[in-house]
Amino acid sequence: MHRMLLCPPEFYEVRYEINAWMSLADAPDHELAVKQWEGLRECLLGIGCAVDCLPPQSGWPDMVFTANAGVVRGTSVLLSNFRHEERAGESPWNALWFQQHGYEVARIPAHLAFEGEGDALQCGKVWVCGYGFRTDEKAHRWVEDWAREPVVSVHLVDPHFYHLDTCFCPLREDFALLHPEAFDSIGQNAIRTLIPELIEVTGEEARRFACNAIVSGSHILLPEGCEQTEHRLQDHGYQTHALAMSEFIKAGGACKCLALVLE
């Protein structure tokens, strides 16, 4: 099973609008958000995952979305450069945690935007990396150099799927969840060439964040309300865990956005 980094939602709120999901007129219920986050944490522990916690910091409400902090391999982390100034202040806290826990911290040049596991997902010995909204395509070269493995760059074109992990989820080297309409035709073809077996997620369930799933062995954690995707995963032998994520979807994130894979 995996080891994950989570951040308690002590300061979580929607206080700005930097993606198509955020609305100052539709504030999350903080008490319910805490309950939903605890449900995710308990589910991870229940399937045997280890959970570390990044201390939340006042003024940085999106720290709860730890998948955007960077990407990790072994004891090395490639830190994010956030596109928006509303999130840029998270980076020093992320760096501090990794330094305190013995990681070698690598960085991308400051002028290039890169948002960690939100836009860089490992699929076997290849990394699929998204660009178009939060990450610059030129940043992918640094991911490739850091990982010492090839990168396949794909262009995201729908603002509702502004991070790769909202529309693509590797299940294993040759199998993945995909919402094709989130990509241009070149990106769709690249993924289809790389991954021979795909579960194509409908627009309706993609907007419920079906692809924003956590995979650990035969267990998959995904937001509730994605029954069609669940049934197809179960047909392939996976045990699904449907979790309430409504208050985090209001900020444009769900299960996977809330967890960074450490091991």
pLDDT in tens, 121-141: 999 999 999 999 999 999 999
- Taking the CB of residue 140, how many other CB atoms lie within 10 A of it? 24
Query: With 90 as the cut, is the pLDDT of residue 1 above it?
Result: no
- What mean pLDDT comes out for the span 40-68? 98
With beta carbons less than 8 A apart as the criterion, state whether 242 and 22 touch. Answer: no
Name the region of 106 (left: φ>0; alpha: ψ -120 to 50; beta: rest). Answer: beta
Catalytic residue among 2, 140, 163, 241: 163
Q: Give pLDDT, residue 251.
A: 98
Catalytic residue among 129, 226, 255, 257: 257
Model-level pTM greater than 0.85? yes
- What mean pLDDT comes out for the span 160-188? 97
Residue 163 bears catalytic tag: yes
With beta carbons less than 8 A apart as the criterion, state whether 193 and 235 touch. Answer: no
Residue type, 1: M
Tell me what percent of the residues of the chain surpass a pLDDT of 70. Answer: 100
- What mean pLDDT comes out for the span 92-104? 98
Query: With 80 as the cut, is the pLDDT of residue 106 above it?
Result: yes
Specify the number of domains making up the chain: 1
- Taking the CB of residue 86, how many other CB atoms lie within 10 A of it? 16
Query: With 80 as the cut, is the pLDDT of residue 241 above it?
Result: yes
Domain range holding 215? 3-261
Query: With 80 as the cut, is the pLDDT of residue 147 above it?
Result: yes
Average pLDDT, rounded, for the chain: 97
- What mean pLDDT comes out for the span 69-88? 97
pLDDT in tens, 185-210: 999 999 999 999 999 999 999 999 99
With beta carbons less than 8 A apart as the criterion, state whether 80 and 70 touch. Answer: yes
With beta carbons less than 8 A apart as the criterion, state whether 209 and 163 touch. Answer: no
CATH of the domain at 8: 3.75.10.10
